[in-house]
Amino acid sequence: MPTLVNYSGDDELYSGASFYQKNLIDLGRVCTLGSSVDGYYCSPKKRARINAPDVFETPRLRKDQKPTIEVLPNECLFEIFRRLSSGKERSSCSCVSKRWLMLMSSICRAEIYKSENLTEGSASCDDEMASVDEDLVIEDDGYLSRCLEGKKATDVRLAAIAVGTSARGGLGKLSIRGSNSARGVTDVGLSAIAHGCPSLRSFSLWNVSSVGDEGLSEIAKGCHMLEKLDICQAPYISNKSLIAIAKGCPNLTTLNIESCPEVGNEGLQAIARSCPKLKCISIKDCPLVGDHGVSSLLSSADNLSRVKLQDLNITDFSLAVIGHYGKAIVNLVLSSLQNVSERGFGSWVLLKVCRSLCHLQFPHVEG
């Protein structure tokens, strides 16, 4: 046996082989080794070839292979998500991936599944439905406020706000100022807010050029409690948006529109017909707005107390309407009205409105 173990000679393996490998190979000449070391056996004068697979190697996904969690189509995920019982569960699922977040934010409140076939002995179902009802009641409070500025204003953040605030009191005030140049706010982000924030009461959109009528129309459809609308430097917002707001938001009390070149008389006339609670209006730098739109607002809203008109194509006729219908106005600002003459500031405004006015300002008025 020592001779077999310490064998050396011409048939020995090359010098680079380890001692353990040489002993195994030499022993293999006289005994049969188990299957676990079959890969180490080789004939004399040949290098050892290791053909056994590495059992410790972890499997890797191919570049074109999707994770198993992303295999389900959106239709299946939608049906699963709408059956989640609480807002906390929906928020947790939205943190899995961007796809899940955007899909979760597309679910409207009315689409959340509610079981009506409850048996008398199903206490767990009763508790589940109670938790759902609690979440829906909390959403109506709307005491939370959010403000997104510059690079922080993206569709993903709006979707996260829509999903996250629903279980924490509901969103009541949202301000978007500026937008990310690469991934800015679009109609998709506003649709997420419309679906998840029915308690929204105040909405401001400043200097966002990537939002159009579709997004604001979704806000009108989903946020019927809206009371304040502030739009500034939105070139793609037109009369279509204001018509949708008029139909969906009858409780509107404050309307501010500035530097919106596509907004004209038709949109203001729709607001005048459908929003009788309007108290404050401010319209600035809208070239399509004329006497018809302004006069409709002033003559239809009996509760108007603050009026601000700047850089508009209105004439003396609009001021005459102010003098006739604006008896409740306490704050009046008229500025940069090139088509208004001295006659417009005559007896109509000064004699009939000054009794209730607390603040009157008309700088830079031509004429």
Please report the pLDDT score of residue 69 as a whole number. Answer: 66
Mean pLDDT is highest, among 118-122, 133-137, 239-243, for 239-243
CA distances from 211 to 10, 154, 189, 260, 321 (A): 84, 12, 9, 12, 34
Please report the pLDDT score of residue 76 as a whole number. Answer: 76
Instruction: Identify the band that residue 120 occupies on the pLDDT scale cut at 50, 70 and 90.
Output: very low
Q: Is 305 helix (H, G, I), strand (E, B) or coil?
A: coil
The answer to whether the beta carbons of residues 50 and 56 sit under 8 Å apart is no
- The pLDDT tens digits for 22-71 are 444 444 444 444 444 444 445 555 555 555 455 445 555 566 666 666 77
> Whole-angstrom Cα distance, residue 147 to residue 178?
11
Please report the pLDDT score of residue 281 as a whole number. Answer: 96
The pairs formed by 1-4 with CB atoms below 8 angstroms and a separation of 24 or more are 4/29, 4/30
Hey, what are 256's tokens? Answer: 């501010």
Q: Once rounded to an integer, what is the mean pLDDT over residues 92-97?
A: 69
Please report the pLDDT score of residue 65 as a whole number. Answer: 67
Please report the pLDDT score of residue 146 as a whole number. Answer: 92
Mean pLDDT is highest, among 175-184, 267-276, 295-304, for 267-276
Instruction: Identify the band that residue 130 occupies on the pLDDT scale cut at 50, 70 and 90.
Output: very low
Instruction: Identify the band that residue 352 occupies on the pLDDT scale cut at 50, 70 and 90.
Output: low
Please report the pLDDT score of residue 282 as a whole number. Answer: 97
CA distances from 317 to 187, 291, 313, 340 (A): 38, 7, 11, 9
- CA torsion through residues 348, 351, 352, 356, sign: positive
State the virtual CA torsion across 7, 9, 13, 15 in degrees, nearest 10.
100
State the virtual CA torsion across 124, 125, 131, 137 in degrees, nearest 10.
-150
Instruction: Identify the band that residue 115 occupies on the pLDDT scale cut at 50, 70 and 90.
Output: low
176 pLDDT above the threshold of 90: yes
Please choose, from the candidates 211, 274, 210, 287, the residue with its C-alpha nearest in 3D space to the C-alpha of residue 242.
274
- The pLDDT tens digits for 185-214 are 999 999 999 988 889 999 999 999 999 999
Please report the pLDDT score of residue 168 as a whole number. Answer: 67
> Whole-angstrom Cα distance, residue 327 to residue 126?
56
What percent of the chain shows pLDDT beyond 70?
A: 60
What percent of the chain shows pLDDT beyond 90?
A: 35
Please report the pLDDT score of residue 137 as a whole number. Answer: 39
> Whole-angstrom Cα distance, residue 317 to residue 53?
91
Instruction: Identify the band that residue 84 occupies on the pLDDT scale cut at 50, 70 and 90.
Output: confident
Q: Is 107 helix (H, G, I), strand (E, B) or coil?
A: coil
Mean pLDDT value across the chain: 75
> Whole-angstrom Cα distance, residue 16 to residue 208?
71
Instruction: Identify the band that residue 170 occupies on the pLDDT scale cut at 50, 70 and 90.
Output: confident
Please report the pLDDT score of residue 302 as a whole number. Answer: 84
Please report the pLDDT score of residue 124 as a whole number. Answer: 44
Of residues 111 and 309, more confidence is placed in: 309
Q: Once rounded to an integer, what is the mean pLDDT over residues 332-338?
A: 88
Question: pTM for this one?
Answer: 0.70
Please choose, from the candidates 194, 294, 301, 202, the residue with its C-alpha nearest in 3D space to the C-alpha of residue 244.
194
77 pLDDT above the threshold of 90: no
Of residues 343 and 7, more confidence is placed in: 343
- The pLDDT tens digits for 299-316 are 988 889 999 999 999 998
Q: Once rounded to an integer, what is the mean pLDDT over residues 121-150?
A: 55
Of residues 241 and 330, more confidence is placed in: 241
Listing DSSP states for 167-208 in one string gives TTT-EEEEEEES--SSS---HHHHHHHHHH-TT--EEEEES-
237 pLDDT above the threshold of 80: yes
- Reported as half-sphere exposure (CB side, CA atoms, 13 A), residue 179 has a value of 24
